[in-house]
Chains A and B, each alone.
Chain A
Amino acid sequence: GDSVTQMEGPVTLSEEAFLTINCTYTATGYPSLFWYVQYPGEGLQLLLKATKADDKGSNKGFEATYRKETTSFHLEKGSVQVSDSAVYFCALSRTALIFGKGTTLSVSS
């Protein structure tokens, strides 16, 4: 069945460091792909999405490109901030969302 695998955390970075969180998926066809973020004490919210191959989603300095050749949707940010500390979930959509296990990011100043 469909599944999402993302890198284990926690990821600990200093402010202004480069971030990559790997995400790969297994699915039939070409589902839409998402990154959701969960800030401490808050609900899940959409960070970015891509609906077809080679699309790049971007928001708040984060980017991810839908790569069907490698079935990947890695999340990147060039310079992280303390306020980016959160749990990040990669997901694909069928009728419902199928999520990875989440990656905790901790950024220190």
Chain B
Amino acid sequence: GAGVSQSPRYKVAKRGQDVALRCDPISGHVSLFWYQQALGQGPEFLTYFQNEAQLDKSGLPSDRFFAERPEGSVSTLKIQRTQQEDSAVYLCASLPGTSGREGYEQYFGPGTRLTVT
């Protein structure tokens, strides 16, 4: 079956440009997470959706970051006025349950590598 897919896989943006990163979770998965992984670091939480509701956005680093999941499936992470510090791999993960507390596996996409020049 299809896993989590993300597009584009690579994105180069000039400083100040807006970018949109797409995540297609596994069909039927209720929960969707976005993470940011800087070079040489572990992934860090950005935001969490349960169906179309954004339940936690505490990890978004600034108001330039915005995420949506309007129909409870595909999600888009938008970064406005990109800065060099936004350069990272952006990972999307989904899981069938309603949160990670029960120890359910999160299924990760391949990530989008964003480079801001």
Residues of A participating in the B interface, judged by any CB pair closer than 8 Å:
4, 31-32, 34, 36, 42-46, 49, 51, 89, 91, 93-102
Contact = CB atoms under 8 A, between A and B. Distances in A.
B42 A101 contact: yes
B100 A96 contact: yes
Nearest 7 CB-CB pairings of A with B: A99-B42, A32-B103, A51-B103, A93-B100, A96-B45, A44-B108, A43-B110
Interface residues of B, number: 27
A93 B43 CA distance: 13
Residue from A46, A93, A100 having most chain B Cβ neighbours under 10 A: A93
A97 B101 contact: no
B48 to A, nearest CB: 6
A46 B42 contact: no
25 contacts: A32-B101, A32-B102, A32-B103, A43-B91, A43-B108, A46-B105, A51-B102, A91-B42, A93-B100, A93-B101, A94-B101, A95-B48, A95-B100, A95-B101, A96-B35, A96-B45, A97-B33, A97-B35, A97-B93, A97-B100, A99-B42, A100-B42, A101-B40, A101-B41, A101-B42
